[in-house]
Structure 1
Amino acid sequence: MHSDQEFKYTSRQYSSLLNQYGLKASISRKGNCWDNASMENFFSHFKTECFYLHSFQSAKQVKHAAQQYIRFYNHARFQTKLNNLSPYEYRTQAA
């Protein structure tokens, strides 16, 4: 679970909760905003292109929409920074 160094993410209570669910903590380096940049960019797109467009009635619907969006994002959504290819196309081309 990646987070910044905010107090709530460095507390013993949070650490215990992660351990309870078998998760490992990953914390950004102090003063380095770029550690989270790629995930913050993804979640910004996810919220505006998927999450805010629907009214979900259950956690199952949210999970399904998230899975569909991740597939779309990786396989069909072109990105200017990747020469107008999807991440999958870009990685395939590089291989």
Structure 2
Amino acid sequence: MQLRATVHGKVQGVWFRAWTRDTATNLGLTGWVRNLPSGDVETLADGTREQLEEFILRLWDGPPLARVTDIRSEWSEADNDFTAFTVRR
């Protein structure tokens, strides 16, 4: 499965991307995370449905300084061949 999520709130400048990478890696996910010009953070993750559902739950918490107000998500079949979870700039 694949999950594309856009995380809204105070999510830039609070180590959200590094935290997301570490969280995804710990869950066994592959994909990426990046900042958007809007101030939001976007992530694309591949894994099992259960792994991705846990990932969304953890995204709501984020790192200590983050304040997540909304998460918009889209589900699809995985169509990438990622080997790790990376931070994109």
Higher helix fraction (1 or 2): 1
Considering Cα pairs closer than 8 Å and 6+ residues apart, tell me whether 1 or 2 has the greater RCO: 2
Same fold (TM > 0.5): no
**TM-score, length of structure 2 as denominator length:** 0.24
Report which of the two has the higher share of strand: 2
TM norm structure 1: 0.23
